[in-house]
Structure 1
Amino acid sequence: MTQEDFRSLPLPAPTLTLQPDRGWVLINIETIVSTDPAPVTLRTDLLGYGVTVQATPTRWEYHFGDGHTLTTDSPGHPYPHHDTFHRYQQPGTYAITLTAQWTGRYQIDGSPIWRDINGTALTTTTSAPFTAEERTSRLVAGPCTATPTPPDC
């Protein structure tokens, strides 16, 4: 199986998880990103032979939409054990693009041997747009749930 054969398979786009995931983040505070590192198994036919392909994401590249990029071998972890994150410095509207690099191996039907595929394949996904906002804290006389004024209470 060649690299071109591998790249032509319907590998899934990576799953991109953001924390917080509420449509906005705070500037100068960590925006946590992670993805699912689970391998996928695909079936294909190559030159008349049935082939099982196991593809595993091994490297991820995050483009944060503000000119910053993070390339990592870690799929990331949720808060509080996170290791993949970004701090936006300026308010604005952003979207994060995640590219996963996949390695693979294959097994021809009837053979017990798994063979590595030379080369890699890439898949990409982009988050929905969100805003990075600057918020200030204020002392209030009562709970904001009772009287949500001012608007950022």
Structure 2
Amino acid sequence: MTAAETKGQPTYIEKDVVEGGKKVRKKVPLVYSVPMNCPGNGPEDADGGNACGQAMTGCQYVPDASGPYVKIYRHPEDETTPVNWEFVGNTCYTSLLPGGADRPQLTMAMIVKEWKQTPFAKPGLSIQPVNNRTLVTLPTYFALVWPQAGYQPGEVRATTLIGHRVEIRPTFKSNNFQFGDGAGSGPTQSSGGAYPNGDITHAYNDPGTFTVGVSTTYGGQFRVDGGDWADIPGTATIAGPTQQVQVLTSTNRLVR
């Protein structure tokens, strides 16, 4: 349903009721239920029912929609149990329904915000030759190492949003190595490695002290209430701590 169709849903229905032994025409308020558009969810499900990736991501490209993607049911307020729920349609404009703004819903914007607040692991570097000292023209090997602090690709962080268990899993996109002399390697899928098989190497042409580092670009995935994993739009680039590499020259000398 469009925004206009959603906003135009009635707040009441006119029906004949009996009051004092007489039939009268009366306006009866309508009660709405908006469970998430996920398999198995129905109008009787409290708090929107189970959440799923298709409901959370289904509205992210719909203009001006806050989501999530929901089913719309309604019934006259004066009906007694069991009520006859009427299915109206599906919408991304939950807040435009009568009373919709009063019903908090888990949205993709909430999940993206939570993902951005993830304490991502900051990538570090292991360097060979060791002790951060190398020679001019000698290939120097760089390898990414993960610290224990923070969430690295594949590690799962769980939180609760609007009564739902939301799990967030950083994913790996690429690395970018900087060698401090204007050269670098990346974006690359490689994490480098140790001598002699590491594929991130650099030979310095001049002696000196150079600041080196690596940054990682993360993507993300999420799932709600143990459902299927779905992608989070966007990326985050996290720079690791820098190090100093000293590049030396060597001199041949004859000894008598």
Q: TM-score, normalised by structure 2?
A: 0.50
| Matched-pair contact (CA < 8 Å) for 1:3–1:120 | no
Q: RCO (CA 8 Å, sep 6+): is it higher in 1 or 2?
A: 1
Q: What's the secondary structure of 2:214's corresponding residue?
A: strand
* Aligned equivalent of 1:40: 155
* Aligned equivalent of 1:150: none
Which structure would you say has the larger Rg? 2
* Aligned equivalent of 1:10: 119
CA–CA distance in 1 between the matches of 2:244 and 2:194? 20
CA–CA distance in 2 between the matches of 1:46 and 1:36? 32
* Aligned equivalent of 2:204: 88
CA–CA distance in 1 between the matches of 2:199 and 2:172? 17
- Pick the aligned partner of 2:216 from 100, 112, 115: 100
Q: What's the secondary structure of 1:6's corresponding residue?
A: helix
| Matched-pair contact (CA < 8 Å) for 1:64–1:96 | yes
Extract unaligned runs of 5+ from structure 1: 142-153
* Aligned equivalent of 1:51: 166
Amino acid at match of 2:170: A
Q: What's the secondary structure of 2:217's corresponding residue?
A: strand
CA–CA distance in 1 between the matches of 2:112 and 2:254? 60
Q: TM-score, normalised by structure 1?
A: 0.79
CA–CA distance in 2 between the matches of 1:16 and 1:83? 14
- Pick the aligned partner of 2:250 from 112, 135, 138: 135
Q: 1:36 Cα shift?
A: 4.1
1:63 aligns to 2:172 (yes or no): no
How many percent identity over aligned positions? 29
Post-superposition Cα deviations, 1:95-122, rounded to whole Å, max 9, x if no partner, equal: 21211011211111242x1011111111
Give the 3 Å change call, closer, same or farther, for CA 13–22 of structure 1 in structure 2: same
The count of aligned residue pairs is: 140
* Aligned equivalent of 1:27: 136
CA–CA distance in 1 between the matches of 2:250 and 2:112? 48
